[in-house]
Every structure is written in C-alpha cells, then in structure tokens.
Amino acid sequence: MIKSCSLVLALLLTGISLAACGGEAADGERGAPIAVPADATPAATTPAPAGTESPTGADASIEPDQAAEVAPRTNRYRMTDAFRFVPTEEGIAEKAVLLTFDDGPKDEAVLRSMLDTLDKHKAKAIFFVNGYRVKQNPELLKLIHEREHAIGNHSWDHIDLKKESEETVERQIGDLQAEVESLIGEKPLFFRPPYGSGGDVVRRIAKNHGMLYMTWSNGSLDWDRSARDKPEEVIRNVLEQLHPGANILMHELPWTADALDELLTRLTGKGYAFIDPGEIEVDVTR
C-alpha cells in the first residue's frame, strides 16, 4: 500500500515538472533575444550615388544646382549685305538655304503642321513673331521654342517702322524683346522689319538690342493674292528665285503649310541643305 502511494506521488510530481518546462519553452520561443556573435560585423550601408538625394534628406555637402551654361554658338554661316548666307570656312555646304516664317504665332493647327514638316525634314527655321500675337498666344511662342526653332523679332504691331519716330521704333522692338524673354528666358537674336522697310534708325536700334538685322533674298509671295490657297504657287515662286544661301521669306499661312513638305522635298532633291539659325554668325559690330 505504501509502495502504491509512493508511486502515485512520484508520477504526480513528474507531470507538474514537465508542464512547467513546457511553459518556459513557449515563452522563450516568443520573446528571447536573438544572440549575435561578438565578432559579427554589421551590414554595410550602401552610399547613395553621387549627386542623388538621400532618402532621409538632402546631403548637406551637396551644393545647389548651378544654372546651366548656354552652349557656345558654332558660326558656320554669315550673312552678306544682300541678306544671303555664305559659309564661314571651307568644307561647309554652299548650297544651303535659311527658312523663315513671319507674322505669327496665330494659328495652332497651321503652326503644328509646319513644325511637324520641319521635323520630318530635320530642318530648323526662324519664326519672326509680332508682339501683339505673342500676347494673344504665348503658348504658341513656347511651342516654337520647345521644338528648338529660333524666335525672331518682327516688331510689336507690324507697322512700317521707317515712318515712325525713334521713340516708337525703340518701343516696338524693345517691348517685344522683353516679352519674349519673359516667356522663354532668352531674347531674339534676329530682327526683320515689317514689309522689309527699315532704315538707319531701325538698324541701329536692332543692333543695340543685340540682333542681326535682315530682310530676305527669296520671297515666296505667299502673302500675295496670286498665291492664296495655291500651295503650288508658293513652291514655284521659291524655286524660281532659288540660289545658294537663299534667305527664304514665308508666312504662317495655311497654303504655305500645305506647300512646305513638297517644297522641302524638292529643295533636298536639288542638293540643298537647311541652315540652322543656331549656326549663323550674329555680329552686330559690322
């Protein structure tokens, strides 16, 4: 009897001990810290690439971005007194023409058509704009600039500047310079007087504003009644007057836009290249 009681008591004590051990194991599995070897090296932090912002904030050692420098102009062509263009050195194509478009920006559909055609032929142009139209359509001026064409000054109101006072001429030219700069961050480098009518005063004021004064040497006559709604007439007029270094005058007109693809195709077929306005020498000291 005594042996039976001792056996029962022993079994009870063993069960209590095992239950207690099981509880400690469960707690230890959930909450015990993970041991780290004393000689373990913490994982290295990969530094951010130079010039990039740290995810936790900007590196105090990084200087603020500097204003981008304007790339120097490469003068491949210069303008003659007859408003034609000649190479500045040997090896540059003599058979080349400058494309220009006056009196915009005014019609988005026409302008986009012209820009797309110019892109197709990898050609750049000068768009001689009027101030009152820029005021009406600032987004179109920005579009021309974004498509990497040159902006030219064609006066604010498209009036005959040769008949105006010096004060008026200054205002007509200077106000447009300021307006264009406020929209695209740079001033025009080229000036064309409305109707090709200038004179000494107009030339001097244009030069004072750092612009190359020009009229043209090849008139498309797209503004004339004889060419209205007749793209083939625009093409014929340009080709009849074609010469190396031609300074071609056109306008932002629907029939000119319609003529442009065929005109540029024919010019290329005749071996002509297109002068990039960014490669024209702007020497206002002459």
Residue positions annotated with a catalytic role: 102, 251
Question: How many residues are recorded in the chain?
Answer: 286
Query: Quick check: 241 and 96 in contact, CB under 8 A?
Result: no
Q: Which residues of 116-132 are buried (b: 16+ CB within 10 A; e: fewer)?
A: ebbeebebbbbbbbbbe
Separation between Cα atoms, residue 275 and residue 269, nearest integer Å: 16
Q: Name the CA dihedral angle for 35, 37, 38, 41, rounded to a multiple of 10 degrees.
A: -120
Query: Quick check: 181 and 173 in contact, CB under 8 A?
Result: no
Residue 6, token pair as written in the block: 């001792």
Count of H-run helices and E-run strands, the chain = 8, 10
| SS percent in the chain: helix, strand, coil, step 5 | 45, 15, 45
Separation between Cα atoms, residue 263 and residue 249, nearest integer Å: 13
Query: Quick check: 212 and 284 in contact, CB under 8 A?
Result: yes
Looking only at the bridges linking them, the beta strands covering 125-129 and 273-274 are: unpaired
Peptide bond just before 105 cis, omega within 30 deg = yes
